[in-house]
Amino acid sequence: MTAAAEFGSTALSAFLRAVGVLALAICAALAFMFAFAAALAVGLMILGAAIAMRLAPRRAETGGEGVLEARRTPAGWVVETAAKRKF
């Protein structure tokens, strides 16, 4: 091979390597951009849920049927229904 052909092959190889590194850098920047956008979207959803929970009306405390109250005694657990309790 002649010196000119050797130089051309080396220059083309270096150029293709530089193009590959540039493409890799662009793809990495795009990946970080999309990751940031996804994290921002998830953060906004969590913020919206927190605001909705804060502004939602509270549930009324129910002491009706089906509510059990349990307490621990030395002999074990005692479960009382709402019907047995006196308010």
Query: What is the per-residue pLDDT for 83?
Result: 57
- The vertex-47 CA angle with 43 and 53, nearest 5°, equals 145
Residues 5-52 pLDDT 10s: 676 788 889 999 999 999 999 999 999 999 999 999 999 999 999 999
Cα dihedral 7→13→19→25 (10° resolution):
-120
In a domain, 27, yes or no: yes
Kindly report, residue by residue over 3-18, the tens digit of the pLDDT. 656 767 888 899 999 9
Report the domain count for the chain: 1
Residue closest to 63 by CA, chosen among 85, 82, 80: 82
pTM of the model: 0.51
14 in a structural domain:
yes
Looking at the DSSP assignment, which residues form a beta bridge with residue 69? 80
Residue 17: what pLDDT?
94
Dihedral sign for Cα 72, 75, 80, 86, please: negative
Range of the domain at 51: 3-59
DSSP β-ladder status, 68-73 and 76-81? antiparallel
pLDDT at 85 over 50: no
In-domain check, residue 17: yes
- Asked whether residue 22 is assigned to any structural domain, the reply reads yes
